[in-house]
Amino acid sequence: MTQTALKAGPGAAWQAGRLAFGTASALGLARFAYGLVLPAMREDLHWTLAEAGAMSTANGLGYLLGALVTAAIVRRLGTAAVFRIGMALTAVSLAATAASDAYLALLAARVAAGAAGAVVFVAGGVIASRVAARAASSAPITVYFAGTGLGIVVSGVSIPTLGEHWRLAWIGLAVAAALATVASWSAASTGDDAHAAAAGRAHVRPLWGAALAYLLFAAGYITYITFLSAYLADQHAPLGQVVFTWTALGLAVIAAPALWSRPTARWPAPRALATLLAVLAGGAALALAAPTPLVILASAIIYGATFMGVPAAVTVLIKGNVPSADWTATLAAFTTVFAAGQTAGPWIAGVVADHTSTEATLAWTAILCAAASAIAIAAGRACPRPAVETRA
């Protein structure tokens, strides 16, 4: 690492840490916390697992719509402004989820939360990539994605204690998202918005293997965290176990940069991606081995320590294989692929689980992530890494 990079390190880490409130809100609160609220909503509103999964699918559809428009909005408004607007809209959409118990209204709120979350995810990922380029380190990228764990921890220690009061849970999530908006506001400033306005063009075909693996990952990983609380409820898990399992999962996400920053930086990107996917598949399968508290806890910790490493590895892959002028468009395209997978995954897994059991949702995650790992390995052998300019 150069002397300049060493000097930039602390400042880059501080900015990435504040920027991580973006993934804490857009992912940890607006998407994954739904899995904690689901048991109370399912009981109060008399949902089937398919209906519950469709709610997560609606969030994925909104995420898809948001990913499709982010690059165009960035060209018009700039990356920092788009990130901030997305954060504010995420908080508003969470508050709207508490306003009605009508199924269509709830679907609309989940769509809005997904769209706002995608805008935050893409814009924040681009900002984190620029911070990483200036610091000559991929650490800011992994720190940014690890922020998701903070949102999961906040949700895990609070929502289960509210019991059947699911509306109060959504209000609390909205307040937390508003605080995250304030905390991350100044971190979005990069001084690169004039450069960002030319959002570039997407490079997906040269990275087809990573894109296909990302699609399968998206369809698979989301079902584990969506139905984890439902699975625990079917196992008659006590409140303490639910809180402890979710909190451990979130803390594992926060700790992930310490585990994966060096491999992500030093290994070839396809190898890092394939390894993360394989470990994730094993972690999901572990919960099926024996429905005991310790085994389920171990599964949740492995899942938490790896699943946000996948988008971080994909972002590093894009940063290393695509010219910096095209980062926004390429990351938006990959997020669109990702959104398509996570839109279909929960609903399909919910339908299967309705005819079998909630264990099917964990098997779904394990199978698809294992297949994604195999594809990443094959594509990495077939497609040598090109040399491109990566500095902002």
- Asked if 253 and 221 touch (Cβ cutoff 8 Å), the reply is no
Domain boundaries, given as residue ranges, for the chain: 3-382
Neighbours of 27 (CB within 10 A): 26
**Tens digit of each residue's pLDDT, the chain (392 residues):** 333 333 445 678 789 899 999 999 999 999 999 989 999 999 999 999 889 888 988 998 998 899 889 888 988 999 999 999 999 999 999 999 999 999 999 999 999 999 999 999 989 988 988 888 888 777 788 889 889 999 999 999 999 999 899 999 999 999 999 999 999 999 987 665 544 444 578 888 888 889 999 999 999 998 898 888 888 888 889 989 999 999 999 999 999 888 877 776 678 878 889 999 999 999 999 988 888 999 999 999 999 999 988 988 888 888 888 888 888 788 888 988 888 888 888 888 888 888 888 888 889 999 999 999 999 998 876 554 444 443 33
Q: What is the pLDDT of residue 6?
A: 34
How close are the terminal C-alpha atoms of the chain, in Å? Answer: 17
Judged by DSSP in three states, 388 sits in: coil
| Residues 231, 228: Cα–Cα separation, whole Å | 5
Residue type, 154: V
Burial class (CB in 10 A: 0-12, 13-18, 19+), 357: middle
Closest CA to 260 of 221, 312, 214, 220: 312
Long-range pairs for 298-302 at CB < 8 Å and ≥24 separation? 299/362, 300/228, 300/245, 300/246, 300/248, 300/249, 300/252, 301/248, 301/249, 301/252, 302/252
- Asked if 30 and 93 touch (Cβ cutoff 8 Å), the reply is yes
Is the sign of the CA dihedral 237, 242, 243, 245 positive or negative?
positive
- Asked if 392 and 328 touch (Cβ cutoff 8 Å), the reply is no
Express each pLDDT in 53-97 by its tens digit.
889 889 989 988 998 898 889 889 999 999 999 999 999 999 999
Closest CA to 82 of 196, 218, 226: 196
Q: What is the pLDDT of residue 140?
A: 85
| Residues 245, 382: Cα–Cα separation, whole Å | 40
| Residues 335, 353: Cα–Cα separation, whole Å | 27
**What global pTM score does this model have?**
0.80
Is the sign of the CA dihedral 85, 86, 89, 95 positive or negative?
negative
CATH 1.20.1250.20 matches 3-382: yes
Q: What is the pLDDT of residue 192?
A: 57
| Residues 250, 253: Cα–Cα separation, whole Å | 5
Tokens of 193: 């918005």
| Residues 129, 318: Cα–Cα separation, whole Å | 10
Checking phi first, is residue 40 left (phi over 0); if not, alpha (psi -120 to 50) or beta? alpha
| Residues 152, 248: Cα–Cα separation, whole Å | 9
